[in-house]
């Protein structure tokens, strides 16, 4: 007995969708064989609704008989968009969700026979389990312009797959005009469709209050947004869509709108139960207000909307490399995002857009969305690529990750045991397929099902004491199904600390904590203020200050076990002496410290470190040593190699004997580095040292005067009378000596490297001014024939 699965009824799905214009070309290209494509179409054109079933129909022919049909997988960056797209397509096809159309998100899976919607993370884990994707004929990656990290990685992995399989198509869909960049990466053709946008009345209505303050989005600003929304819906019969950056902001705006008398107000964000999301996304004959995160910016269509009120804010993950922490940062959205939000008001007719910021503010927004790969924590990405068997530089990516962030991610994976040297471990492979971040997954596998409740809280943007918060029950059950059985009891602090040992913190002052990573952070939650040790679950940066957003109490014993305790001698070179302490520490947290005498090896290392920080200035320079240093710099500048460049030569290589002497107790003031400089002289070229840069210059008086090279050229300071008869300045390395001619009292009279011009010109004026002041010294009218001398006239 055979069963028959029908194609999608495209005519029922596509009426009046602008993207329908692409269907002839799309059919023709896919019918000719697998191909990679980039489809550019603005939000609201119907690309997410129409193109997946069309691709499925082409791949499977005119009718599907029994057997295994070729599936089309479609990714969208947010769970709420995935659910909504699957339900919408099944509804338009007049089929049951789970028949031809299904979806897969974290904690929920409804299989479909032809089209399966899913988040990028779900598909990545599916790829890691089965890299060939058997039975899948095409993957469509939607909303690639949002540049989310998972989507960027997925493009790289699937581009490799498309090069290995000759029966596979990769299609990227973008809502903005950056399609050529994706087409070049995928070696793909571009298809474009435009959206008919009705006229929009855009006004700017900034608040008197700043949009973002020291503790996040300003509550008064949100009240201002609610007031503007209230005024707009009073003068219009249409529904409104309000964009704010997060769930807390949604709650504030809704509370204010309800206080203003509105009852038909609905939230829309990814943490809602699907039934609550459907309430916001279902068309209604009555006026409604939908208060949403940016999830409705391009991924979703909210019917009936003709009014958009925009905060101009978005929330993105941001890694602070200096502190080794990652958090969500609220900042202005991109101009492209603001324009997409505005476009939501013009899908069904003329619309009104109220931007709660100034036009000048808008001009300073970034033009496009910044790629997450440049700023997000990359621990999950590093684990996935290690499991995939590649590194970022070998994967076709739009942007390479920052080296320091990638190195920090791999260090985290080493710490939790997911990597060993360059190889992924069995634990790492297991973590890579868990629908949980690697640190949380490691904690779940360590403590088992008892950790499910706490980790469910931590995974969902926690606030305050995580032990007192109520988690999503479905998420708890999902984690329990993934966890091994557990017998040993673990505290909330142990569970959180095992995930983030570098964020375990010790109280050092009122409200201030020192993290094992070395970061200082402030605690704002009064419920935890009496805790001496905290396992931090969430931390943010605000005005260059780290703020502990969520944490759990942890005992000192558990904290030290998770961080690990070390004992070492820490030596520092301070004020010419090596000072040492025996330090017992947990990461950067010092537990005890006692003075001790350093070993010569410890002292050597301390001096070498100080030398790296302060350079050779650490040592005493006599006049003789300074002179040789300046002469060597001068020769190197004008003759180059093999004369050494003292500034770039590693001082550890030529000062090792002096460092060793210091480390064995020789006082700093008794060590001169003249012998070390002599060791730098190149041989046999050193025989020419006095030819290229002599230390002294003999002048016509017969005296020898020191040459100063510290300015980069040879300078001699000499009494004017000692140079009578000297017409030309001597040159060294092609640079003439500059004469600072002095009075008998040693005061400067003239500076020149052209003595002939000085004697023939300026000397007569100097003579007129000086001979009365210094009558005992010679001031001849003819300096050319006068004997050079340093003596007075009576002693000549």
Number of Cβ within a 10 Å radius of residue 772: 8
Q: Where are the alpha helices (DSSP H) in 553-668?
A: 556-563, 600-614, 623-639, 651-654, 656-663
Average the pLDDT over 526-539 and give the result: 92
> Kind and range of the H or E element at 755?
helix 755-760
Residue 530, C-beta contacts closer than 8 angstroms, at least 6 positions apart? none
Average the pLDDT over 595-612 and give the result: 79
Determine contact, residues 748/742, Cβ cutoff 8 Å. yes
pLDDT value at residue 194:
83
- Report the range of poorest mean pLDDT among 1-15, 660-674, 754-768: 1-15
Structure-token pair, residue 483: 């966890």
The whole-angstrom separation of Cα 304 and Cα 297 is 15
pLDDT value at residue 295:
81
Strand partners, 590: 585
pLDDT value at residue 3:
46
Strand partners, 189: 37
The DSSP call for residue 470 is P
Topology adopted by domain 10-192:
Rossmann fold (3.40.50)
Q: In percent, how much of the chain has pLDDT > 70?
A: 95
pLDDT value at residue 104:
95
Q: What is the pLDDT of residues 115-163, one digit of tens each?
A: 999 999 999 999 999 999 999 999 999 988 888 999 999 999 999 999 9
Residue 305 sits at φ, ψ, to 5 deg, of -85, 130
Q: What is the pLDDT of residues 400-413, one digit of tens each?
A: 999 989 998 999 99
Q: Which residue has the higher pLDDT, 268 or 660?
A: 268
Q: Is 595 exposed, middle or buried (0-12, 13-18, 19+ CB in 10 A)?
A: exposed
pLDDT value at residue 45:
83
The whole-angstrom separation of Cα 68 and Cα 72 is 12
The whole-angstrom separation of Cα 320 and Cα 546 is 10
Residue 226, C-beta contacts closer than 8 angstroms, at least 6 positions apart? 253, 256, 257, 260
pLDDT value at residue 321:
59
The whole-angstrom separation of Cα 124 and Cα 365 is 32
The whole-angstrom separation of Cα 685 and Cα 636 is 12
- Report residue 483's pLDDT band, with 50, 70 and 90 as the boundaries: very high
In 3-state terms, what secondary structure has residue 320? strand
Determine contact, residues 297/337, Cβ cutoff 8 Å. yes
Q: Say which residue the tokens 């599907």 belong to.
A: 64
Residue 256 sits at φ, ψ, to 5 deg, of -70, -40
Q: What is the pLDDT of residues 233-266, one digit of tens each?
A: 999 999 999 999 988 899 999 999 999 999 999 9
- Report the range of poorest mean pLDDT among 180-189, 328-337, 643-652: 643-652
pLDDT value at residue 315:
86
Q: What is the pLDDT of residues 276-325, one digit of tens each?
A: 887 888 888 899 999 999 887 766 778 889 999 999 999 887 766 555 55
Q: Which residue has the higher pLDDT, 608 or 23?
A: 23
The whole-angstrom separation of Cα 318 and Cα 272 is 24
Q: Which residue has the higher pLDDT, 54 or 610?
A: 54
Closest CA to 353 of 207, 209, 204: 204
Closest CA to 292 of 329, 239, 359: 239
Does residue 62 have a pLDDT over 50?
A: no
Phi-psi region of 312 (alpha: psi -120 to 50; beta: other; left: phi over 0): left
CATH of 200-374, one of 3.40.50.300, 3.40.190.10, 3.40.1550.10, 3.30.70.3460: 3.40.50.300
Average the pLDDT over 644-671 and give the result: 76
Q: Say which residue the tokens 């708890």 belong to.
A: 476
Number of Cβ within a 10 Å radius of residue 751: 12
Q: Domain boundaries in the chain?
A: 10-192, 200-374, 436-558, 565-672, 694-795
pLDDT value at residue 432:
93
Does residue 663 have a pLDDT over 70?
A: yes
Q: Which residue has the higher pLDDT, 69 or 423?
A: 423
pLDDT value at residue 614:
59
Does residue 472 have a pLDDT over 50?
A: yes
Q: One fold for both 10-192 and 200-374? A: yes
pLDDT value at residue 712:
92
The whole-angstrom separation of Cα 519 and Cα 736 is 55
Does residue 743 have a pLDDT over 80?
A: yes
pLDDT value at residue 66:
45
The whole-angstrom separation of Cα 717 and Cα 711 is 14
- Report the range of poorest mean pLDDT among 99-113, 320-334, 691-705: 320-334
pLDDT value at residue 552:
96
Determine contact, residues 290/266, Cβ cutoff 8 Å. yes
Closest CA to 587 of 217, 359, 324, 279: 324
- Report residue 1's pLDDT band, with 50, 70 and 90 as the boundaries: very low
- Work out the mean pLDDT of the chain and round it to a whole number: 89
Q: Say which residue the tokens 């060793």 belong to.
A: 660
Helix and strand counts by DSSP (H, E) for the chain = 28, 36
- Report the range of poorest mean pLDDT among 67-81, 345-359, 720-734: 67-81
Instruction: Give the strand pairing for 545-553 and 533-542.
Output: antiparallel
Q: What is the pLDDT of residues 543-571, one digit of tens each?
A: 678 889 899 999 999 999 999 999 988 88
First to last CA, the chain: 132
Average the pLDDT over 618-628 and give the result: 84
Q: Which residue has the higher pLDDT, 456 or 509?
A: 456
The DSSP call for residue 402 is P
Residue 173, C-beta contacts closer than 8 angstroms, at least 6 positions apart? 38, 39, 40, 41, 47, 48, 51, 140, 141, 142, 143, 144
Does residue 200 have a pLDDT over 90?
A: yes
Q: Which residue has the higher pLDDT, 196 or 66?
A: 196
Does residue 652 have a pLDDT over 80?
A: no
pLDDT value at residue 545:
81
Average the pLDDT over 645-659 and give the result: 75
Determine contact, residues 534/505, Cβ cutoff 8 Å. yes
């Amino acid at each position: 007995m055979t069963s028959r699965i029908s194609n999608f009824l495209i005519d029922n799905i596509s009426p009046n969708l602008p993207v329908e214009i692409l269907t002839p070309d799309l059919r023709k290209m896919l019918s000719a064989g697998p191909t990679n494509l980039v489809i550019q179409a603005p939000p609201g054109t119907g690309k997410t609704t129409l193109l997946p079933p069309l691709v499925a129909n082409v791949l499977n022919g005119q009718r599907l008989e029994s057997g295994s049909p070729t599936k089309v997988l479609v990714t969208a960056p947010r769970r709420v968009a995935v659910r909504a797209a699957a339900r919408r397509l099944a509804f338009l096809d007049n089929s049951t969700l789970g028949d031809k159309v299904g979806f897969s998100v974290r904690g929920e899976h409804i299989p479909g026979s032809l089209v399966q919607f899913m988040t990028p993370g779900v598909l990545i884990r599916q790829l890691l389990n089965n890299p060939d994707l058997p039975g899948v004929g095409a993957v469509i990656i939607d909303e690639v312009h949002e540049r989310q990290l998972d989507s960027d990685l997925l493009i790289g992995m699937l581009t490799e797959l498309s090069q290995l399989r000759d029966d596979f198509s990769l299609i990227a869909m973008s809502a903005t005009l950056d399609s050529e960049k994706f087409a070049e990466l995928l070696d793909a053709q571009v298809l474009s469709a435009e959206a008919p946008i009705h006229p929009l009345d855009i006004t700017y209505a900034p608040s008197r209050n700043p949009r973002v303050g020291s503790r996040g989005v300003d509550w008064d600003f949100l009240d201002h947004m609610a007031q503007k929304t209230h005024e707009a819906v009073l003068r219009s019969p249409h529904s409104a869509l309000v964009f704010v950056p997060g769930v807390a902001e949604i709650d504030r705006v809704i509370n204010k709108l309800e206080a203003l008398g509105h009852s038909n107000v609905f939230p829309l964000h990814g943490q809602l139960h699907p039934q609550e999301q459907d309430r916001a996304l279902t068309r209604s004959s009555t006026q409604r207000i939908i208060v949403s995160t940016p999830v409705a910016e391009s991924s979703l269509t909210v019917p009936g909307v003709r009014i958009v009120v925009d905060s101009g804010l978005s929330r993105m993950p941001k890694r602070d490399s200096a502190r080794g922490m990652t958090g969500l940062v609220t900042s202005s959205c991109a101009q492209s995002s603001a324009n997409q939000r505005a476009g939501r008001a013009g899908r069904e007719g003329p619309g009104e857009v109220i931007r709660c910021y100034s036009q000048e503010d808008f001009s300073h927004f970034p033009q496009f969305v910044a790629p997450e790969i440049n700023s997000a924590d990359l621990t999950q990405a590093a684990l996935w690529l290690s499991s995939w068997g590649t590194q970022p530089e070998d994967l076709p990516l739009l942007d390479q990750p920052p080296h320091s962030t990638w190195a920090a991610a791999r260090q985290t994976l080493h710490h939790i045991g997911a990597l060993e040297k360059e190889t992924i471990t069995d634990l790492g492979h297991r973590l890579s397929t868990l629908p949980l971040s690697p640190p949380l997954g490691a904690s779940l596998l360590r403590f088992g099902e008892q950790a499910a409740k706490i980790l469910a809280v931590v995974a969902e943007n926690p606030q305050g004491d995580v032990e007192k918060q109520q988690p999503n029950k479905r998420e708890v059950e999902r984690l329990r199904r993934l966890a091994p059985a557990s017998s040993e009891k673990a505290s909330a602090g142990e569970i959180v600390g095992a995930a983030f040992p570098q964020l375990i913190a010790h109280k050092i002052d009122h409200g201030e904590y020192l993290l094992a990573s070395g970061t200082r952070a402030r605690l704002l939650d009064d419920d935890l203020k009496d805790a001496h040790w905290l396992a931090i679950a969430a931390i943010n940066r605000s005005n260059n200050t780290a703020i502990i957003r969520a944490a759990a109490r942890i005992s000192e014993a558990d904290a030290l076990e998770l961080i690990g305790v070390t004992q070492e001698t820490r030596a520092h070179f301070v004020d010419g002496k090596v000072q040492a302490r025996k330090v017992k520490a947990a990461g950067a947290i010092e537990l005890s410290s006692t003075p001790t005498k350093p070993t010569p090896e410890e002292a050597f290392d301390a001096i070498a470190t100080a030398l790296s920080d302060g350079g050779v200035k650490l040592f005493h320079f006599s006049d003789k040593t300074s002179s040789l240093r300046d002469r060597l710099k001068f020769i190197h500048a004008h003759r180059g190699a093999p004369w050494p460049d003292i500034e770039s030569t590693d001082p550890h290589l030529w000062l090792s004997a002096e460092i060793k002497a210091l480390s064995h107790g020789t006082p700093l003031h008794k060590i001169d580095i003249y012998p070390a400089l002599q060791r730098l002289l190149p041989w046999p070229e050193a025989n020419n040292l006095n030819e290229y840069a002599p230390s002294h210059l003999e002048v016509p008086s017969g005296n020898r005067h020191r040459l100063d090279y510290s300015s980069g050229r040879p300078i001699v300071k000499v009494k004017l009378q000692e140079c009578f008869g000297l017409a030309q300045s001597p040159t060294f390395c092609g640079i003439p000596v500059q004469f600072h001619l002095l009075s008998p009292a040693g005061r400067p009279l003239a500076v020149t490297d052209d003595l002939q011009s000085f004697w023939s010109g300026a000397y007569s004026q100097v003579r007129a001014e000086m001979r009365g002041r210094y009558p005992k010294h010679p001031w001849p009218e003819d300096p050319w024939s006068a004997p050079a001398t340093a003596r007075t006239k009576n002693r000549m």
